[in-house]
Amino acid sequence: MTDEALLSAAQVSKAWPFEEARKLLKRYPDGKPDGSPVLFETGYGPSGLPHIGTFQEVLRTTLVRRAYEVLTGGAPTRLVAFSDDMDGLRKVPDNVPNQGLLTAYLGHPLTRIPDPFNKFESFAHHNNAMLRDFLDRFGFDYEFVSASDRYNAGAFDDALRGVLRNWQAIMDIMLPTLREERRQTYSPVLPVSPKTGQVLQVPVQVVDAEAGIVRFEDHGDMVESCILGGNSKLQWKVDWAMRWVALGVDYEMCGKDLTDSVRESGKIARALGGRAPEGMIYELFLDENGEKISKSKGNGLTIEQWLTYGSEESLGFYLFRDPKSAKSLHVGIIPRAVDEYWQFREKLADQPVEQQLGNPVWHLLRANGYHGGDGDKLPVTYGLLLNLVGVLGAGATREQVWSYLGNYVENADPAAHPELDKLVTNALAYNRDFIAPTLQRRKPEGGEAAALAALDEELAATSDDATAEELQNLVYEIGKDPHYGFEQLRDWFKCLYETLLGSSQGPRMGSFIALYGIANTRKLIAEALP
């Protein structure tokens, strides 16, 4: 693929990262005129444990960043992962220990609250570390920025003065959006109480904008205090706008729930003398019950859970697809995501450039500088692995699985197939936690027993070297024989799944028999027959 061919295809590609990057291209066709990097930002509120919804924003923004670099021939860019850790804790999350400890610190900035896990200097530092750990593991190129660090170091002081100077303009933007009761107490600035250390939601009067002095009531006393140097934070929509202007953010996406915030923060950014970044509004994830995922409820998947049962690549693949459509996010979607990732990856090398740019794997590999190579085909699907492990039982071991893979995979050595070896570990965990407890084999009914006996007879006469395709044809022929009474082939395969594997769904039986072995498959049939 030549650079010219890639650029030509990228300019018209309908893949959403290129569509987003072309928005930014209108602003900076060749990068910024002064040569400074175009700034991409993602935001994170560390009031609860990070979940996949947090990670996806960094991934998707990175994909747009790489697409923009292609369109500009390599214009410099930066990605900032920004943590809103100066926020006051409004609610104790349901899924953390030592909840009484956190309750005592309600209203305090998240970086000034003890870590309930007793690992870091604050609750925010703990949650920030969890996020950074995963971003590092995935290989993202990003810079982590803490709101508390910027506020406390005075890096936002000039921007805070700008908010005080443009106080009335900001109030004129915000007050019409609020309920009457809220209007009475609304302030763009939230001072930190000198008495208690809490972030206060109180009316504020500007005394001296240049000195940062404001007047407010602090637990019954009217006080004047400087809001600079970490002694305040801004109300959410004002804070977002201030950050865009202070940092010079050029692109930031967000979830559908922040649609109004984008509009109002954009107006505030203009009042502060800047402008809103380009961006995409994406749909939110839902749990398996169709409910919105919440950090405080903990009803989403954690990063650790996905990586227990699936691969990093499959997570990226699932997050790439259809960002403007709502999707379920639960453990049940992991196996399919793993197999679809590898299906798309196997296609990539043989696709023309136009199709490559529409292939999710092209974007995912390029996100971290990898452009393909060896290991672009998985010798066994994850679904087939799960079926094998399901038959072996909850106590199956990695070594046991690899002994069966020797029937199916050339050079069946974990060192020769590291990607497959990782999936073996994932499959063992998935089977232990979700499949083994639900498997229940039923007895054959009607003509099913005769069909199974016929399959056993055919397998007894079949060479151990038979290919998966040959075994599949053998299974087909029995299912098509009207003597056994199957109206459709799917009924025969359902019989095989339910009587031999204990599940209503399953793999290509030829592949399974080749992997599990003819002798072992005959033992399953013997156990199933009355």
The amino acid at residue 172 is D
- The pLDDT mean for the chain works out to 92
Nearest residue to 54 (alpha-carbon basis) of 40, 65, 44, 41: 44
pLDDT for 207-224, tens place per residue? 999 999 999 999 999 999
Q: Cβ neighbours of residue 403 under 8 Å, at least 6 residues apart? A: none
Distance CA 322, CA 66 (A): 18
Nearest Cα residue to 250 out of 276, 212, 282: 276
Structure confidence at residue 428 as a pLDDT band (50, 70, 90): very high
- β-pairing, 143-146 vs 77-83, is parallel
Q: What's the pLDDT score for residue 376?
A: 79
Predicted confidence (pLDDT) at residue 299 exceeds the cutoff of 70: no
Tokens of 185: 């107490």
Q: What's the pLDDT at 373?
A: 45
Show the tokens assigned to 461. Answer: 């006469």
* Contact predicate 352/7, CB 8 Å: no
Say if residues 245 and 163 touch (Cβ distance below 8 Å).
no
Q: Please give the Cα distance from 134 to 127 (Å, whole number).
A: 11
Q: How far apart are CA 337 and CA 453, in angstroms?
A: 36
The residues pairing with 481 across neighbouring beta strands, listed in sequence order, are none
Task: Place 298 in a pLDDT band, splitting at 50, 70 and 90.
Answer: low
Q: How does pLDDT run across 71-82, given as a tens digit for each residue?
A: 999 999 999 999
The pair of structure tokens assigned to 70 is 């292609």
375, pLDDT greater than 80: no
Name the band, by pLDDT with cuts 50, 70 and 90, for residue 241: very high
pTM equals 0.89
The pLDDT assigned to 320 comes to 95
Residue 391's Cα: distance from chain center in Å? 31
Q: CB-based contacts of 410: which residues, under 8 Å, 6+ apart?
A: 379
Per cent of the chain over pLDDT 90 is 83
> Rounded to whole angstroms, how far apart are CA atoms 431 and 439?
10
- 10 Å Cβ neighbour count for 1? 10
Tell me phi and psi for residue 250, to 5 degrees: -105, -25
What is the pLDDT at residue 431? 96
121-140: burial string, b at 16+ Cβ within 10 Å, e else: ebbbbbbbebbbebbeebeb
* Lowest-pLDDT range of 16-30, 271-285, 289-303, 446-460: 289-303
Confidence category of residue 427, pLDDT binned at 50, 70, 90: very high
pLDDT for position 188: 98
As a whole number of angstroms, the distance between CA 504 and CA 487 comes to 17
**Quick one: average pLDDT of 263-286?**
96
pLDDT of residue 289: 76
- Return d(Cα 116, Cα 98) in angstroms, integer: 5
Domains in the chain, start-ordered, CATH in brackets?
Answer: 3-174+234-282 (3.40.50.620), 287-367 (no CATH), 382-435 (no CATH), 448-528 (1.10.10)
Predicted pLDDT at 10:
96
- 84-109 burial string, b = 16+ CB within 10 Å, else e? bbbbbbeebbeebeeeebbeebebbb
How far is Cα 260 from Cα 312, in angstroms, rounded to an integer? 33
